[in-house]
Structure 1
Amino acid sequence: MAKSKDKTPVSITDNDPKHKAKCVEKFFKNNNVNWIKDWPSYSPDLNPIENLWSKLKSQIQFDQLKDKKELKKSIKKQSKSIQQSTCQNLINSFRDRCQSIIDSNGEKINY
């Protein structure tokens, strides 16, 4: 949760039904939280980090992991191998992603 310039908490929620529940509205009101609730629904197609996670998962799947400790070690190792250019390309593709979503009338896109 972010804070506004006057230090008042601000929450931005999408149109997910659980975010619009009466108990959520009551909580925000009782805790003096500014609530921006007319945000578009979450779209992983528009979130570059989702593609980065997918890349990371595909790299990790080839490691022979025995436990959680090895998984953490593998995540750290594979994370370091991701090139900055990969991240930049994902960010630079944002306009194309937006246009693809518009062209598909809001339907899921393959990115």
Structure 2
Amino acid sequence: MVADNATFHRGGRIQEIIESAGCQLKYLPSYSPELNKIERCWSWLKSQIRQQLIQFDCIRDAMEYVLRLAS
């Protein structure tokens, strides 16, 4: 069983239950957004949208504008 590092995965009886079923519990490494290229893309995209919000009446218009620029 592979689990992330959510606190509810680390406590309680989860490991005991998994091991009693004959399985092993392995945890993913800590979250590192700098290692995930898509996180940088989303960060840039959200930043651009925030900057455009002052020029548009709604977030959808700002999003569409930024997405047109990015494509």
TM-score, structure 1 as length reference: 0.40
Aligned-pair distance for 1:19? 2.5
Distance 2:31 2:12 in 1: 20
Distance 1:35 1:71 in 2: 46
| CA-based RMSD | 3.2
2:18 is the counterpart of 1:37: no
Distance 1:40 1:62 in 2: 33
Hey, which of these two has a bigger chunk of helix by percent?
Answer: 2
Task: In structure 1, list runs of 5 or more residues that go unmatched.
Answer: 1-10, 84-111
How many residues get paired?
64
Matches within 5 A, 1:63-102: 63=52, 64=54, 65-66=56-57, 70-83=58-71
Aligned-residue sequence identity (percent) comes to 31
- Which runs of structure 1 show a deviation greater than 6 angstroms over 4 or more consecutive aligned residues? none
Task: In structure 2, list runs of 5 or more residues that go unmatched.
Answer: none
Alignment match, 2:8: 18
Give the conservation status (yes or no) of the 8 Å contact 1:59–1:78: yes
User: Structure 1 residue aligned with 2:39, among 39, 47, 50?
Assistant: 50
Secondary structure of the equivalent of 2:51?
Answer: coil
Sort the Cα spacing of 1:12 and 1:74 in 2 relative to 1 into closer, same or farther, 3 A. farther
TM-score, structure 2 as length reference: 0.55
